[in-house]
Structure 1
Amino acid sequence: MKQHGRTTFISAYGLLALGLIGCGSAEDAFAPVEGEPVATSQAALTAGEQAALTTANTSASCTPLGNFYWEIGDGTGPVYAIPRGGGVTATTVMPIASASKWLYAGAYVQSRGYANLTPDEKKRLNFTSGYVDERRTLCGDAGTTVSECYGPAYKDVSYRLLQNGRFFYDGGHMQKLALDDIGARKGTGLLSVMDWLNNKLGTTLPESDSDVAVAGGFSASAAQYRVFLTKLINDQYVLSSLLTVDAVPAWPGGPGVSSTPWSGGEAYYGLGHWIEGEVRNGAWTVTGHSSPGAFGFYPWVNAARTQYMVLARNRQLFGDEEGEKSRACAQAIRKAYGLGVPQP
């Protein structure tokens, strides 16, 4: 982790001695970020790093989550990175569910240019277009195209007139957009969805058959998603300076909100991502941007675009919104890191 001109890492040995990690071998306990050395002592930890580490391992928001990897970084890459427990590292590839939405929106805006977006395109990106996925079947069969994913055999996206102009959190908006934009592309092979997306974003995300479900079918590791977040911070995308444009209310009971999974108070939805905030001095203030995935993968960038965070985990439990749980844990870790005080 880079901090004040130095690079420090927590060793697996030090964590085992403190009893801070779960079961698994010392090798599983910590996978260093590629190209970085591993320290042999915790002595170099700052107060913020120690508070974040303690919070990740003991906070009521984090202890139920099982094993996960998390990192906090800036425009140059990771500053502080470590797994909790074994089996999940920076390079563990997993399904990221709705964390796909931010990637697809970034690639779409990159390919079109914001000035060229039509009102309908913007509504499909902020989920007010009226298009809703009538089925939850993932388009994971080999050879499936985006157009086939849109059709009745899989996601069966339909238009609901009464939902046009209202926020309805659903992948159907983006699936309709992809149908019109990259309908012939497939999950793997020549002219795949990921081939198109990686070209637009400068990423190296892996291909999978489910990639044709652009709002929730991608896979990635924390290290692969990190590339997108650092480029976003470094103003390398059209979307970089547009994280608050076309935002609509997205919290339960908010004006014009029909359906939302959000549970963290007032929040908005921009172009393919959530806009998080909190009340400061009596006014709601933007604190960051995120795209939680239903299985627990959580990417985040702060409002100033100077810091990012990834919390990577994969728990596929029916009926549980693991993304919201990861968001709450990540928020506690970030608060501890910023204040230097462990969070309960």
Structure 2
Amino acid sequence: MKQHGRTTRISACGLLALGLIGCGTAEDVEVAVADAPPGTSQAALTVGEQAALTTANTSESCSPLGNFYWEIGSGAGPLYAIPRGSGVTAATVMPMASASKWLYAGAYVQSRGYANLTPDEKKRLNFTSGYIDENSTLCGDAGTTVSECYGSAYKNVTYRPLQNGRFFYNGGHMQKLALDDMGARRGTGVASVMDWLNAQLGTTLPESDSAVAPAGGFSGSAAQYRVFLMKLLNNQYALSSQLTVDSVPAWAGGPGVSSTPWTGGETYYGLGHWIEGETVNGAWTVTGHSSPGAFGFYPWVNAARTRYMVLARSRQLGGDEEGQKSLACAQAIRKAYESGVPQP
């Protein structure tokens, strides 16, 4: 973590006394402070950190989201990290839903090498292959294989020729890819999906029965996902330099778009992740890359690959809108952190 004089560890309840966060668990929170007595002044934070903290706690985008953990970092590690409320820390394991897609894409490209990807493989990774899930049944039964998850008892992935070449946001594309690549693997045990994925990415994501659905069944913590994001920044993956390649329009009403959950205006979809951007002087410009999950887990790296962010929360009764809510909150926090101005 970036230092401002030294690092100290302040209990979550100690931060409550400052009005910084809600009272958390007994686990300590590492924060950057100046050379003042620990926990005595909000002035220990930089202007950007304080603005980000205020935004996370009070902004219109963040205040309805309940408890969550968030951190901003670089390729060297976290720069500023803190929970909001209780019960969620960097180590809290939760279902990541569609945040799984980026991990799977990263591992698949790593295993093949980008130059060796076929046109069909790229289409399954950017969701234009025509393979669509017929239902959203979770492949969470113990002992289920990837190939069984693909079948009629669970995802029931089918090929729709009229959707071939069109963007259709759906896990069926990746499920078909996994079927052909590792259909016999299971969620837990010998030769699990995570055995393969962790070996490719150098991560330590936990096994779970639902991991046989690689487009949405992984679980993990912010700290575990952080490893993936840092390696992306540090150019340690085949995907690191290919975050904008093979991208397709992915916004509602965009050319060739059949189905999308995106609600934030013009955007594109690359290999297993969204490409965020904004219009500046009439030109659309990439600002970052992300993979928000339906329960609210949101990972991000900026376009320059110098910063990452994770906002970890789990609202399992929600839908795709929970990921979009986390995205809006994270954008506000980042803007506050960079500008030093709290966001409304």
Same fold (TM over 0.5): yes
Q: CA deviation at 1:152?
A: 0.4
CA distance in 2 between partners of 1:204 and 1:14 (Å) = 31
Q: Secondary structure at the match of 1:106?
A: helix
Distance, in Å, in 2 between the alignment partners of 1:151 and 1:286 is 37
Match of 1:32 among 30, 33, 37: 30
SS in 2 for 1:27: coil
Q: How far is the alpha carbon of 1:8 from its aligned partner?
A: 6.0
Match of 2:80 in 1: 80
1:137-286 matches, cutoff 5 A: 137-286=137-286
Judge conservation of contact 1:16–1:26 (CA < 8 Å) in 2: no
Q: Deviations over 1:20-72 (max 9, x none)?
A: 433x45636x5338xxxx95343321100000000000000000000000000
Q: Deviations over 1:59-93 (max 9, x none)?
A: 00000000000000000110000000000000000
d(CA) in 2 for partners of 1:9 and 1:248? Answer: 45
1:330 offset after TM fit, Å? 0.2
Paired residue secondary structure (1:197): helix
Percent of aligned positions that are identical: 83
Amino acid at match of 2:303: A
1:56 maps onto 2:53 in alignment: no
Structure 1 residues 107 and 230 mapped into 2: Cα distance closer, same or farther (>3 Å)? same
Structure 2 length normalisation: TM-score?
0.94
Instruction: Tell me the distance in 1 between the aligned counterparts of 2:205 and 2:156.
Output: 26
Q: How many residues align?
A: 338
User: What do you get for the CA RMSD once the two structures are aligned?
Assistant: 1.7
What do the CA deviations read for 1:221-262 (whole angstroms, capped 9, x no partner)?
Answer: 000000000001000000000000000000111111110000
Aligned 8 A contact 1:8 1:44 in 2: no
Task: Measure, in 2, the Cα distance between the counterparts of 1:245 and 1:307.
Answer: 20
Partners of 1:16 and 1:337 lie apart in 2 by 21
Q: Which residue of 1 aligns with 2:69?
A: 69
Please state how far the C-alpha of 1:299 moved relative to its aligned partner.
Answer: 0.2
- Contact 2:68 2:85 (C-alpha < 8 Å) held by counterparts: yes
TM-fit CA distance, 1:3: 4.0
Q: Which amino acid letter does the alignment assign opposite residue 49 of structure 1? A: E
Cα shift at 1:212: 0.2
SS at 1:271 equivalent: coil
User: Which ranges in structure 1 are unaligned for 5 or more consecutive residues?
Assistant: none
